[in-house]
């Protein structure tokens, strides 16, 4: 089997990780593994996991490393991840980064893309974000009228995420600085980190990412 294409997408909340990963899955024929999407799906399904984490998600806190590491391990064991994955929202602590190394073994992380966007801009983006409750498609509040509040892809209800309220946004961004920003130095030391300007159109950001992946001979 050829080496796996394991790409990590880092960035503040609202930097565009989900937006970019959804655009790149077809290009590289690897799945997006979004721990946030997996956790929100569990909350929506009312499963034991969902009941355990719903309060943490709503307040903008972080779910335990142990639980998230286990979710990613299970997800990576599914067939569609045999060629690699786009990791969205994972890892976001040093403990998770070390767990990912252990999980990937010799294949390892191939590239870490850091979507760089200012705190003011991500705060504005999160406040105006809307998402499909069924399939996770991402919209902005200005799109809602045109789509009459229902998802163009699946017809699901388009809603505001519970953690996109001002207090939860502040908490999430504080946690980013405390727990996730140290990962930039962690990956930079290994020569894996590439910072991409996230304050461009989604199309321009995708083009910049594709260029880096290609320059590194990864795809």
Residues serving a catalytic function are 17, 92, 129, 161, 172
In the shown chain, the binding pattern of residues 2 to 21 toward Mg ion, with x for contact by CB under 5 A and - for none, equals ----------------x---
Q: Can you tell me which of 5, 10, 15, 42 binds ligand AP5, judged by CB under 6 A?
A: 15
The tokens for 192 are 């894996």
The tokens for 95 are 């403990």
Query: For residues 158 and 110, what is the distance between their CA atoms, to the nearest angstrom?
Result: 35
**Letter string b/e over residues 72-99, b meaning 16 or more CB atoms within 10 A of that residue's CB:** beebbeeeebebbbbbbbbbbbeebbeb
CB of 147 to Mg ion, least distance (A): 19
Contact between 4 and 83 (Cβ < 8 Å)? yes
CB of 2 to ligand AP5, least distance (A): 27
Give the number of residues in contact with ligand AP5, rule: CB under 6 A.
Answer: 33
Query: Which 3 state secondary structure label does DSSP give 111?
Result: strand
Cα end-to-end span (Å), the chain = 15
Q: Can you tell me which of 23, 75, 110, 125 binds ligand AP5, judged by CB under 6 A?
A: 125
CB of 16 to ligand AP5, least distance (A): 3
Q: Which residues would be at the binding site for ligand AP5 (CB under 6 A)?
A: 11, 13-19, 35-36, 39, 56-57, 60-63, 68, 89-90, 92, 96, 125-126, 129, 138, 140, 163, 172, 200-202, 205
Q: Which residues would be at the binding site for Mg ion (CB under 5 A)?
A: 18
């Amino acid at each position: 089997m050829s080496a796996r294409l394991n790409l990590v997408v880092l960035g503040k909340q609202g930097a565009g990780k989900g937006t970019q990963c959804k655009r790149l899955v077809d290009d590289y024929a690897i799945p997006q593994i979004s721990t946030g999407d997996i956790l929100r799906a569990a909350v929506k399904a009312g499963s034991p996991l969902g009941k355990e984490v719903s309060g943490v998600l709503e307040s903008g806190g972080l779910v335990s490393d142990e639980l998230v590491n286990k979710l990613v391990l299970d997800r990576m064991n599914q067939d569609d991840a045999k060629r690699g994955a786009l990791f969205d929202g994972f890892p976001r602590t040093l403990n998770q980064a070390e767990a990912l190394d252990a999980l990937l073994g010799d294949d390892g992380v191939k590239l870490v893309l850091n979507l760089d966007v200012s705190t003011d801009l991500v705060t504005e983006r999160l406040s105006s974000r809307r998402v499909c409750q069924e399939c996770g498609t991402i919209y902005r509040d200005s799109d809602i009228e045109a789509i009459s509040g229902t998802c163009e892809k699946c017809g699901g209800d388009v809603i505001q995420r519970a953690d996109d309220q001002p207090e939860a946004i502040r908490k999430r961004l504080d946690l980013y600085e405390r727990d996730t920003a140290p990962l930039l130095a962690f990956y930079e030391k290994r020569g894996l980190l590439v910072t991409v300007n996230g304050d461009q159109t989604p199309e321009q950001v995708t083009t910049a990412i594709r260029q880096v992946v290609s320059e590194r001979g990864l795809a």
